[in-house]
Amino acid sequence: MHKHRVVIIGGGFGGLATAKALARADVEITLIDRRNHHLFQPLLYQVATAALSPSEVAWPIRHLLRRQANVRVLMGTVVGVDKAARAVLLEDGARQPYDTLVLATGAQHAYFGHDEWEEHAPGLKTVEDATAIRRKLLLALEAAERETDAERRRALLTFAIIGGGPTGVEMAGAIVELGRASIRGQFNTLSPDDLRVVLIEGGKRVLPNFYSELSAYTLDALKRMGVGVELGKPVSAVDAEGVTYGDRHVATRTVIWAAGVAASPVAKWLGIEGDRAGRIKVEPDLSAPGLPDVFVIGDAASAVRDNGKPVPGVAPAAKQMGRHVARLIQRRIGGDTTPLPFAYKHDGDLATIGKSSAVIDFGWIKLKGWFAWWVWGLAHIYFLVETRTRIFITMSWLWIYLTGQRSSRLITHGDATKTRPLEEVNDN
């Protein structure tokens, strides 16, 4: 008889936690991901704002699991699930049979019926998203330096962020700092005061999931930094000229989408109807409805807490779900099939608002200001996966803290294998 085969799709926080929690289990694990790397999403905005380089927040999945003998890592693209035969279907026609399937495919940014906005308002989910946004931010400054028309120049120096959650707040603070530090002494026609950052949130407050006092503090801190915060005005149009929200319009060439996400196509694979954001409404034990051998975890799942509220789409939740599923698998192998509902434990909420300011809500304690900022930094260093990254990110932050220099202000394009940029650009 073969060993119990666990197939995990997705090498994010949830998938990785599942694999690691099964390190000592007598199972054969296959982890499949379209990418070769795990991404530390909480710091991705720092890649987009030139503070960190991509390799500081992403690591090869193979490398992270190299010491675990019962895992096989496969870089491949899943196109479906054959529920009857219990096999995962890959793009190249291969089939990967499973006894237990764990779907940890995460979310992507979603524009809720306005896909045409994406072209003008990229979201931040992948390493490529981050370098593309970095490119957009830095190119806007370069274009502004050469622009002589006052109105066009103002639009080039205006940056709009849609969405007032942690990502939006962190991006707003980081763009102010990147912009001011870049302009200072390095551009002839620009002044740091020309920079305008607008944060647009449809709801009544920023960081809506945080304790209201921390939202108020964050609002103040953003305003002190010079960020224009627009609350209670949902966005109605995004195009090449700017953003319209409520009865207002801001002319800008650079819009960043931090407002909404939708689950990957798991619902389609399983032939189950997803919720509005495409997530699977899972059973209390995180299995898919009617499929006790298929678990859905992390951002792909819609799970409910004891208090009736939804489990938030954050890294700790995905990790807890992964560990829960690993425990269930081990129990089942041992013959124990008693139901074990998932109980989410909320550790807290953190967000940073530029240099030396952050808010933290651990439930039992609420922190704000420079002390919270240090706790935020230490917490993130602690949660990083690799020793090397801990050292390098600490040093990168220290360097920025002491000198103000952001090290990764590179404008790079896509792969250049098929073009010779010099000739192409200069010869026509």
- State the Cα–Cα distance between residues 14 and 257, nearest whole angstrom: 24
CB of 81 closer than 8 Å to CB of 269? yes
Closer residue to a second copy (CB): 138 or 288: 138
Contact between 334 and a second copy per CB under 8 A: no
Q: Which of 77, 191, 212, 236 binds a second copy (CB under 8 A)?
A: 77
Least CB distance to a second copy at residue 191 (A): 15
Stretch that binds a second copy, among 152-160, 203-211, 365-373, 408-416 (CB under 8 A): 408-416
Helix axes 13-21, 315-333, angle to 10 degrees: 30
Size of the site for a second copy (CB under 8 A): 81
What 8-state DSSP symbol labels residue 72? E
CB of 158 closer than 8 Å to CB of 212? no
Between residue 23 and residue 62, which ones bind a second copy under the rule CB under 8 A? 34-37, 53-56, 58, 60, 62
- Upper half-sphere CA count for residue 421 (Cβ side, 13 Å): 6
358-361 and 349-352 beta bridge pairing: antiparallel
Contact between 392 and a second copy per CB under 8 A: yes
Stretch that binds a second copy, among 18-26, 65-73, 210-218, 341-349 (CB under 8 A): 65-73
Least CB distance to a second copy at residue 182 (A): 8
Between residue 172 and residue 201, which ones bind a second copy under the rule CB under 8 A? 182, 185-188
Give the x/- contact pattern for a second copy in 371-390, rule: CB under 8 A.
-----------------xx-
Between residue 88 and residue 147, which ones bind a second copy under the rule CB under 8 A? 91-92, 94, 105-106, 108-109, 118-119, 122, 126-129, 131-132, 135-136, 138, 142, 145-146
Read off the tokens for 220. Answer: 């103040």
Contact between 2 and a second copy per CB under 8 A: no
- State the Cα–Cα distance between residues 228 and 188, nearest whole angstrom: 25
Contact between 391 and a second copy per CB under 8 A: yes
**Could you tell me which of 397, 361, 370 has the C-alpha nearest to residue 166?**
361
Least CB distance to a second copy at residue 101 (A): 15
Q: Which of 5, 20, 23, 72 binds a second copy (CB under 8 A)?
A: 72
Q: What single string gives the DSSP state of each residue in 189-226?
A: S--GGG-EEEEEESSSSSSTTS-HHHHHHHHHHHHHHT
291-296 and 287-288 beta bridge pairing: antiparallel
Q: Residues, the chain, total?
A: 428
Residue type, 84: A
Q: Which of 85, 343, 378, 411 binds a second copy (CB under 8 A)?
A: 411
Contact between 333 and a second copy per CB under 8 A: no
Between residue 340 and residue 369, which ones bind a second copy under the rule CB under 8 A? none
- State the Cα–Cα distance between residues 373 and 369, nearest whole angstrom: 6
Contact between 422 and a second copy per CB under 8 A: yes
The CA distances from residue 205 to 120, 131, 163, 307, 406, in Å, are 25, 29, 10, 23, 30
Spell 332-358 as b/e; 16+ CB within 10 A means b: bbeeeeeeeebebebebbbbbbbbebb
Between residue 235 and residue 294, which ones bind a second copy under the rule CB under 8 A? 264-265, 268
Contact between 152 and a second copy per CB under 8 A: no
Closer residue to a second copy (CB): 160 or 222: 160
Name beta bridge partners: 4: 27
Report, as residue numbers or ranges, the catalytic residues: 170
Stretch that binds a second copy, among 168-176, 323-331, 355-363, 411-419 (CB under 8 A): 411-419
Least CB distance to a second copy at residue 313 (A): 15
Closer residue to a second copy (CB): 188 or 307: 188
**Could you tell me which of 350, 399, 385, 346 has the C-alpha nearest to residue 371?**
350
Contact between 420 and a second copy per CB under 8 A: yes
Stretch that binds a second copy, among 167-175, 235-243, 285-293, 395-403 (CB under 8 A): 395-403
Look at residue 284 and give its three-state secondary structure: coil
Least CB distance to a second copy at residue 254 (A): 11
Least CB distance to a second copy at residue 403 (A): 8
Closer residue to a second copy (CB): 247 or 427: 427
Between residue 207 and residue 226, which ones bind a second copy under the rule CB under 8 A? none
Helices (H) and strands (E) in the chain, counts: 13, 25
